[in-house]
Amino acid sequence: PEELFGPLSIRKLEEDCYERMMTGYLPEASVAFVDEIFKANSAILNTLLSIMNERVFHNGSMPRETPLICLVGASNEMPESEELEALFDRFLLRRWVSPLSSDGFLSYIGGMSGNEELKPQLPPPSTAAITHEDVLTVRRVEIPEEVMDRLLLIRHFTGVLKDPPCYVSDRRWKKIMYLLQVLAATSGRATVVESDLLMLRHCLWSHPSHLPVLSKFLKTLLKQRDQT
């Protein structure tokens, strides 16, 4: 827990208070990356769920709001225990990364041969913040009835996938709706279009085997729309 949430305050312990020094740690981060996230123990999992879902960190007896905007997790293994399912469900966008191909491997290790020029240092990232008006713009994006009808079909399809099952909680569906609005707004549109639904192949899978099945279904669904 110390690596994520900060070390315990010795001074506070002397005062019979169990509090952490959070400066520079996850409870005060707006963007965070957690490696091997599915190896976390129960205490870390419960705290992560509170931060990701409620944006609250309980430090001692006082719950504190966190400024978290985005949390990225990485893992070399899929979650297999039931206690990890709730955490996995909180990750809306999921990206499966396959091992390097032979060409990709040679390109990857080629930078260690000493034959390549050093790349120039990248400029510092922009510090532009998301404004309240940006949020309002996203919330005003319309989701038309034909898109809602397609979403019902997609929801039914995920419900019948078996071996393994494809579980998508109602909570994640609600976040998917907001993601579609973000996609439209950042594309300069005031309305979600059916082609935006292709993004859902990165949101709906519970196991890597679902990826090609979902991609095929979504493309077929949109192709049928084009032919009508």
Bridge partners, 20 (sequence order) = 8
Rounded to two decimals, what is the model's pTM? 0.76
pLDDT at 133 over 90: no
Give, to the nearest 10 degrees, the angle between helix 170-186 and helix 132-139.
110
The dihedral formed by the CA atoms of 104, 107, 113 and 118, expressed in degrees to the nearest 10: -140
pLDDT at 127 over 90: no
Tens-place pLDDT, residues 140-193: 999 999 999 999 999 999 999 888 888 899 989 999 999 999 999 999 999 999
**CB contact at 8 A, 213 and 161:** yes
Task: Please give the Cα distance from 4 to 107 (Å, whole number).
Answer: 34
